[in-house]
Copies of this chain bind each other. A is one copy, B any other.
Amino acid sequence: MSDLTEGPSGRRRGRPPRTESAGTRDRILSAAREEFSERGYEKTSVRGIAKAAGVDSALVHHYFGTKEQVFAAAIEVAFAPALNASEVIEHGPLDGVGERLTRFVLGVWENPTTRTPLLAIVRSAVNNDTAAAVFRRLIASQLLRRITARLDLPDAELRVELAAAQLVGCAMLRYVIKVEPLASEDVERIIARVAPVVQGHLTGP
């Protein structure tokens, strides 16, 4: 419990001072990420996260709040590479956005380092409604808002989601379920087929 003194108790959750407590917060977050990845949302407990981080459960609650809030903070970091998708859309000409986005998303999934935490998020979101709600809010606040601002078209959000659906489905079938021939197909051939579809969803008539 002595760790609790590290953060002034009146401070807003999740915003520790930039002193030694930032190290503790990061350690908790890192433990949370590992626990959620390995066990999924349902089987992970705040107590387990605290134990893995070597701190008291009260400190986890102090920094992050509920299990749902720890999960939100943990997946925000794990999801960070995917959040760069909005930058991919923002930078460069709009008529190349389909290819840029397709290349980016498949790149994140091709790389095991970024694939593993993403897969853990997908598993938790598919299995648990609370985890799905956290994931949903993250997508809405971090991704949709920025991308739709760039598109500036009617139905921009729906367009983005249908484009995302094509990419999410590809990732599911290629990297998670691993159906053949899609799972072994050269990634450039997939990009060649999928990029025009994504472009069509985003900027087509």
Interface residue ranges, A against B (CB under 8 Å)? 40, 122-123, 125-127, 132, 135-136, 139-140, 144, 157-158, 161-162, 164-170, 172-174, 176-182, 185, 189-190, 193-194, 197, 200-201
* CB closest residue in chain B, given A165: B169
Contact of A161 among B127, B158, B176, B179 (CB under 8 A): B179
Contact of A162 among B123, B165, B170, B178 (CB under 8 A): B170
A188–B132 CA distance with the chains assembled, in angstroms? 25
Q: Is the interface of A mostly helix, strand, loop or mixed?
A: helix
Can you list 9 A-B contacts (CB < 8 A)?
A126-B172, A136-B180, A157-B181, A158-B189, A161-B179, A162-B194, A164-B169, A167-B169, A169-B172
Copies of this protein chain in the complex? 2
A127–B39 CA distance with the chains assembled, in angstroms? 11
Q: Which residues of B contact A194 (CB under 8 A)?
A: 162
Tell whether, in the assembled complex, residue A177 and residue B125 are in contact, meaning their CB atoms are under 8 Å apart. Answer: yes
CB distance from A8 to the nearest CB of B (A): 37
* CB closest residue in chain B, given A196: B200
Q: Which residues of B contact A123 (CB under 8 A)?
A: 126-127
Tell whether, in the assembled complex, residue B161 and residue A168 are in contact, meaning their CB atoms are under 8 Å apart. Answer: no
Nearest 5 Cβ contacts at the A-B interface: A169-B169, A165-B169, A168-B169, A161-B182, A165-B170
Tell whether, in the assembled complex, residue B161 and residue A165 are in contact, meaning their CB atoms are under 8 Å apart. Answer: no
